[in-house]
Amino acid sequence: MRFEDDPHPMMIRILFFAKAREAAATDEILLPLESAPDSSRLWDYLVVQFPQLAAMRDSIRLSRNSQFVQDTEGFAAGDEIALIPPVSGG
């Protein structure tokens, strides 16, 4: 989902779920874009801002606008990025 009606079009929204939400102590942040980051650069930024995410980096999947992304995929203004930890169910 994109958020074109957002007053800051040069932003991406980062959503945190489950253990990622606990580590970041927030549900979401808005990240201003100076250039289009890829997954690796985004992770580097997030780990600096939320050091507890570092231990989860290998197990969390990133999605862009509700689609899982590859490690080298870039992001653009208006994207919604979600950090999705592994889930289990019965």
**Number of domains comprising the chain:** 1
Tell me whether residue 66 is in a domain.
yes
Structure tokens at 11: 């932003």
11 pLDDT above the threshold of 80: yes
What residue type is assigned to position 14 of the chain?
Answer: I
CATH classification of the domain holding 40:
3.10.20.30
- Kind of pairing, strands 28-32 and 11-16? antiparallel
Tell me whether residue 3 is in a domain.
no
Tell me whether residue 89 is in a domain.
no
What residue type is assigned to position 9 of the chain?
Answer: P
d(CA 88, CA 90): 7
Structure tokens at 90: 């019965």
Tell me whether residue 31 is in a domain.
yes
**pTM here?**
0.82
The DSSP string of 40-72 is HHHHHHHHHH-GGGGGGTTTPEEEETTEE--TT
* 17-29 pLDDT tens trace: 999 999 999 999 9
8 pLDDT above the threshold of 50: no
* 21-71 pLDDT tens trace: 999 999 999 988 777 688 888 999 899 999 999 999 999 999 999 999 987
Tell me whether residue 6 is in a domain.
no
Range of the domain at 30: 11-84
